Amino acid sequence: MPKLKVGTRAPAFTLTDQRGKKVKLSDFKGKNVVIYFYPKADTPGCTTQSCSLSDAMPDLKKLKAVVLGISPDSPDKQKKFDEKYKLGFPLLADEDHKVASAWGAWGKKSLYGREYMGIIRSAFLIDPKGNVAATFYKVSPKNTVRHVTAALSRAAPSVGTRSSPISTPP
């Protein structure tokens, strides 16, 4: 699927979170939303990424942002992951990867010469109007917080000095 472009409308979605609640992107209108796609709950990279975002929540809240994690895991697996690490934000189940596809976060990957389809670890900043303010495709689990915090600081009209969106190179 094509990658999202900064300035475009973020694709709408409704997914089930780890508590069985339906969550819509439109529920967060008027807020900055950090959305990250991760391959599988409770694996080393995904744990690093999710725990880093959880640890950064006080700073992200100061920047008027909420966090949503999305993976192909079931709500039950998401719940166990959340309870184990006390993440404290919605983890959404995209079991058929339709949302990941729409966001350009589902695609061809390779491991040890074997090609397969899977989640392309990605993070996005969605502005309060529902537009893509920043994209981070193939983001490192260790660098996700740094990238989204910098984007929020520079791009969020309510907290930054600039109102122009930013993006990382493809």
Cα–Cα distance, 125 to 119 (Å, whole number): 18
Look-up of token digits 């880093």? 52
Q: For the chain, what is the radius of gyration of the CA atoms?
A: 15
* Token digits of residue 169: 């190179």
Look-up of token digits 């993440």? 87
The whole-model pTM stands at: 0.89
The pLDDT of residue 127: 96
Every domain of the chain and the residues it spans: 14-155
Catalytic residues: 46
Give pLDDT tens digits for 46-86.
999 999 999 999 999 999 999 999 999 999 999 999 999 99
Topology of domain 14-155, per CATH? Glutaredoxin (3.40.30)
Cα–Cα distance, 118 to 110 (Å, whole number): 9
Give pLDDT tens digits for 101-143.
999 999 998 889 999 899 999 999 999 999 999 999 999 999 9
